[in-house]
Structures are given as C-alpha cells and as structure tokens.
Amino acid sequence: MNNREMAQLSLPPKEKGNIITTYISLFILILFVGMPIIASIFSISIHSTSYVATSGVVAIGLLIILITKLKLHPFFALLISSIFLGVVNGIGVAKTVKTFTHGFGGQLGVTGVVIGLGAMLGGLLVQSGGGDKIADIIIGNRKMVWMPLSVGLVSLIIGLPNLFEVTFVLMVPLVFSITKRLKLPVLAVAIPMSAGLMTAHALLPPGPATIIAATAYNANIGETTLYGVIISIPVLLVGAYLFPRLMHRHLAVGTPLDLTGTSHSSDESNGERTQPSLGSALATVLIAPALMIVGTIGLNFVSQAGLLQDGLQAISNPIITLSLALAYAMIFLGRGCGFQTEDILAICKKSIVPIVGLLLIIGGGGGLKDMLTAIGLSDIVSHLATEWSIPPLLFAWLIAVVFRIALGSGTVAVSASGGIVAALLAANPHTNVALLVLSTTTGAMFFSHVSDGAFWLFKEYFGLTVPQTLRTWSLLVTVQSIVGLVCVLILGAIIGA
C-alpha cells in the first residue's frame, strides 16, 4: 500500500477525536464496574486502606482526564469523580448523592454569598471609574523608579473584591495606557499588574481561594486576613518589583492586542456623571478587610458577652463587612457619581453573570471534599502525613501544588485539596488554621500552565508564544508561591503554629 492509499485511509482529526472520546468513555465505564470486581477476585476488602487509597488515586486521575482530555466542565467532572468514589467504595448511589449535595451546599453556604457580594462590589468600583482614580493618583504622569511596585499595589487594591480573570481583563487597557505613557515594554507593566492581582486573589479575602479554604477548614476570616496582609507584602514585593528587574532581558517581547476604541471604565458620554474621590474609591475596597481585622483583634481583648462583643463578631463576618462595603459603594460610587438606581442595579446584575460557572466549580469541589472524607481517604492521608512527619503547613502546600499542576485552575486546586488537608486538623489540633489556609492558597498559585485559563489570558492579551508565557507568567506565579510558603513557615515558627 503506497503513501497515497494510506492517506486516504487516515481519519479526519474530528473523527479521530470522537474515537478517542469513545475509548475514554468506555474506559471510565469499565472503571466503575471493574474496581469492585477486581477487589472481589483478589479477596481485597473495599474498606481496606489499599483499596480506598487506590480508589482515591483513580478518582483524581479520572477527574484530570475528564477535564483535560474530554474537556468537560470542571463541575461535571467533579460530580462524576465523586459518584465514582461513592459507587466503587460501596456507599450506595443514594448516600453518594446525599453526601455530594451536602458538601456542595456546605461549601457555597458562605463562599457563594461572599463571592457574589465581591463581584458586585468590583463591578461598581470599575464602572464608576474608582479603579482608574486609584491608578491615576498612585502612578502619576511621570516615569518612576517605583513604577512596578506602584502598579502591583494598585492591582492588588483593585483586585481585592474581584475575580482574577475579571480584574485582569479590566486592567489590561490601563496596562497599555501606562506602557504608552512611560514608553516601556508591555511586560514591564503587565508582570507587576499580574503579580498584584495574584497576590490579592490567593492571599486576601474576599478572594475565592482564601474564602474556599477558610470555609473548608473553619478558619477565622479576620485572622486569615491579618496573616494574609503580612504575607502579601513580601510576595508582592518579589513578584511586582524584584522579578521584573531580574527578568528585564525577557521583557521586550510580545505583540499586544489592539484595544483601540475600547474603554476601561464607563465614561462613555455620561456628562452628568462624575468620578469618585480617591477617598471614596479606597474606602470601597478597604472597608471589608479593615473591619475584619479590627473585629478579630478586638475579640482578643473582649471576653465578656455583650453588645461590644456582638458588634466585634459582626464586623469579623465577611458577609456583614462586604454588605456594608457594597452599600457604601452604591451610595458613594453609584448615586454620588450620578448613576441612577436602575443603572446601579444593572451593574450589580451584570457583575454576577461571570461567577455562575465558578460557583458551580466551588460547590463541586465541596462535594468531592465530603466524598473523600466519607470513604475515609482523608483519614488515611492524614495518618500517612503524621507517620512521615511532614509539617501540616508544608503538607497543605504540597497537596495544593499537586492539584494545581494536575488540574490547572487554582480555585479547583484549593477546592479539591480541602477534604485531604482538613483531615490533618484532627491529627494536628495545634496547627494554626489561618496559616493552613494560606499555605493551601499559596500552593495553588504554583506553576500556572496550559490547562489554566489565566495562562491563556496572559499569553493572548500580551501577544506571547507559549514558551515566552512559561518563562514569564508561569515562572512569576511559581516564584510567588515559593515566597508565600517560606513566609507562612516563618510566621508559623514565630507564633508557634
């Protein structure tokens, strides 16, 4: 048979893809049926440590295949993997579904409300021009030696109430305008901006990562915020200032997207609207974290039940503080800047749309977490970690790193890590839970690559090749992750965690 005949017999890419999908689907079906049968043949109890551990590893592998190969939505992949765990471990379909839905609801009970409030707060900040106001005041109109750190700080502040991807897209036009104003390579501004956003996303509430982990470990949000602020200082300094200086030879690359004609904020022919003051813009993003820190510190000095203690507990609650911040934003960034009530409500409604998929993923991660606990895998991993004498803070970071590399999404990595890491608390009751949250979220920053949506955002907006993106964006978040871990361990040693 000659080459031409061979070519005629070759299948189109689409048909090859369908065949691969079919084989993978059959393989998954065999897994569901085959594991209990194999265990029965070899007289292995489905409750044995080896069987439970193997089923957990297979479930994680299944999750990775479903997301990376079959391109299923992460929520559906988390659901299938959870059902697989329940079925092959003999829990039963009814109890499996009940366990998953319990974990789903438990994860979203606080997290969903916090993320929703944060999304609306971020929408008002951007649409009112508050984000631009903060950036213009801090950056100024001249070239500055501290420009990278200034950009990183602005990005961190603006990124506090927003999802990473949402704030990234909104900040890109600002990056281009600064680049043009100061005549710098786009990456000289893009890297500090990304470093600031990642720091806010991973270390500071109401970022999804910290809220998810804090909910899973039942951590105090105020204490987590306090330690997050401390750790974010060196993480931001290294990522936004030192990293670009060390990588200056690799910054003059990329052909950024042409965004001519787009607007960074809603100043389109709104003559009756005015920009908010710098104080109002800063207050919008700082009210919630500031109140939570004050409440947490205050509770350490107030032991007697009463009105003062109730008030301090209230402002330590992220739902209360974000609600207050949102109300403030509606008044001072909304009505105060000339927006009508219907405009404010429209902004809030539009801000909710991008987070629907994220909330499903977060809930699915909670379902998987409860399933891992139900089959006893979390206890097994906790026992092994104790036997191997791995410090809990380091173990949490390593688990999150594994999930981050395997699954791509930092948010999914934190959600998937929750059930395994949470079991460590029973065996290590003296571990500082707030630091355990931050060790998990810093691990979830590690090495963003091709299965992470943020990787492609950075690559496409700044016109880079895949190798260039790996050398810049991926290396940046890896360095920040390691610096974050070091800071967590140092802080843990100081406070005796």
Question: What digits encode the pLDDT tens for the residues 431-461?
Answer: 899 999 999 999 999 999 876 878 878 887 8
The C-alpha atoms of residue 99 and residue 260 are separated, in whole angstroms, by 50
Cα 287–Cα 288–Cα 291 angle in degrees, nearest 5: 80
The C-alpha atoms of residue 31 and residue 59 are separated, in whole angstroms, by 10
Average pLDDT for residues 463-490, to the nearest whole number?
94
Q: What is the pLDDT, as a whole number, of residue 427?
A: 73
Q: What is the pLDDT, as a whole number, of residue 405?
A: 82
pLDDT at 271 over 70: no
Share of the chain above pLDDT 70, in %: 85
The C-alpha atoms of residue 440 and residue 227 are separated, in whole angstroms, by 14
Question: What digits encode the pLDDT tens for the residues 103-114?
Answer: 899 878 877 888
The backbone torsions φ and ψ at residue 211, rounded to the nearest 5 degrees and listed phi first, read -65, -40
With a CB cutoff of 8 Å and minimum separation 6, the contacts of 53 are 377, 380
Q: What is the pLDDT, as a whole number, of residue 52?
A: 87
392/488: higher pLDDT: 488
Q: What is the pLDDT, as a whole number, of residue 397?
A: 96
409/55: higher pLDDT: 55
pLDDT at 123 over 60: yes
What band does 264 get if pLDDT is binned at 50, 70 and 90?
very low
Q: What is the pLDDT, as a whole number, of residue 297?
A: 83
Q: What is the pLDDT, as a whole number, of residue 287?
A: 87
What band does 260 get if pLDDT is binned at 50, 70 and 90?
very low
Q: What is the pLDDT, as a whole number, of residue 5?
A: 46
CA 338 to chain centre: 34
Question: What digits encode the pLDDT tens for the residues 13-51?
Answer: 556 556 666 766 676 667 676 777 777 676 777 778 888
With a CB cutoff of 8 Å and minimum separation 6, the contacts of 298 are 312
Q: What is the pLDDT, as a whole number, of residue 263?
A: 41
Cα 258–Cα 264–Cα 265 angle in degrees, nearest 5: 155
Query: Which of 467, 420, 415 is closest to 441 using CA atoms?
Result: 415
Average pLDDT for residues 478-495, to the nearest whole number?
97
What band does 133 get if pLDDT is binned at 50, 70 and 90?
confident
Q: What is the pLDDT, as a whole number, of residue 188?
A: 92
Average pLDDT for residues 266-294, to the nearest whole number?
77
54/143: higher pLDDT: 54
464/15: higher pLDDT: 464
Question: What digits encode the pLDDT tens for the residues 361-381?
Answer: 878 888 887 888 888 876 776
55/140: higher pLDDT: 55
Q: What is the pLDDT, as a whole number, of residue 18?
A: 66
Average pLDDT for residues 1-6, to the nearest whole number?
49
Q: What number of other Cβ atoms are within 10 A of residue 475's Cβ?
A: 17
pLDDT at 215 over 80: yes
Q: What is the mean pLDDT of the chain?
A: 82
pLDDT at 328 over 90: yes
pLDDT at 182 over 80: no
What band does 243 get if pLDDT is binned at 50, 70 and 90?
very high
Cβ(435)–Cβ(393) below 8 Å: yes
Cα-based torsion angle of the residue sequence 311, 316, 320, 321 in order, rounded to the nearest 10 degrees: 110
Average pLDDT for residues 386-391, to the nearest whole number?
75
Sign of the alpha-carbon dihedral angle for 215, 218, 224, 228: negative
The helix/strand/coil state of 160 is coil
pLDDT at 259 over 60: no
